[in-house]
């Protein structure tokens, strides 16, 4: 899709498959790697994480970035756009898709506040479902 396209994707109806994964490694210089649906390491993500590590990013930050990039890789697969051809259009649509999609359910403590509820003491909202 050209960058100046007037085509509008229906991102709310988009089906993004939960394929690929983030793997922990035993290599202290590459503590995490992202593999795609075929089990192939995503070289662009590995390179990015390697640069972040060189810039003093913590392993937990690398892990967080790897999971965010996993969502990006899944999204690109769903819209059938290769990583190297992704443009601002895909970035925009990804941001819109993130606003419309619910996070996968996770186990919560029985006494945990409901997603999106406001803490009466701090006034901060807990993470929501999107």
Q: Quote the pLDDT of residue 118.
A: 80
* Domain count across the chain: 1
Which phi and psi (to 5°) does residue 78 adopt?
-65, -35
Distances (CA, A) of 74 to 17, 78, 83: 7, 6, 10
Distance CA 31, CA 50 (A): 9
Residue 120 inside a domain? The answer is: no
Distance CA 36, CA 58 (A): 23
Residue pLDDT, tens place only, 37-65: 999 999 999 999 999 999 999 999 999 99
Domain that holds residue 23: 11-100
Residue 122 inside a domain? The answer is: no
- How many Cα neighbours within 13 Å face the side chain of 70? 22
Residue 112 inside a domain? The answer is: no
Distance CA 92, CA 94 (A): 5
Distance CA 36, CA 72 (A): 11
Question: And the tokens for 25?
Answer: 């490694």
Is pLDDT of 2 > 60? no
Residue 113 inside a domain? The answer is: no
Q: Which residue has the higher pLDDT, 122 or 27?
A: 27
Q: What is the pTM of this model?
A: 0.75
Residue pLDDT, tens place only, 52-109: 999 999 999 999 999 999 999 999 999 999 999 999 999 999 999 998 877 666 677 8
Q: What is the largest CA-CA distance in the chain?
A: 49
């Amino acid at each position: 899709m050209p960058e100046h396209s007037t085509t509008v994707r229906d991102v709310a109806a988009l089906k993004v498959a939960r394929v690929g994964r983030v793997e922990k490694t035993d290599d202290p210089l590459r503590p995490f790697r992202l593999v795609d649906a075929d089990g192939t390491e995503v070289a662009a993500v590995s390179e990015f994480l390697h640069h972040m590590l060189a810039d003093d990013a913590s392993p937990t930050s690398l892990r967080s970035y790897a999971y965010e990039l996993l969502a990006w890789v899944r999204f690109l697969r769903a819209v059938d756009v290769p990583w190297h051809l992704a443009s601002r259009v895909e970035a925009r649509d990804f941001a819109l898709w993130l606003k419309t999609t619910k996070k996968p359910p996770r186990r919560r403590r029985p006494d945990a506040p409901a997603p999106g509820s406001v803490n009466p003491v701090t006034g901060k909202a807990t993470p929501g479902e999107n």
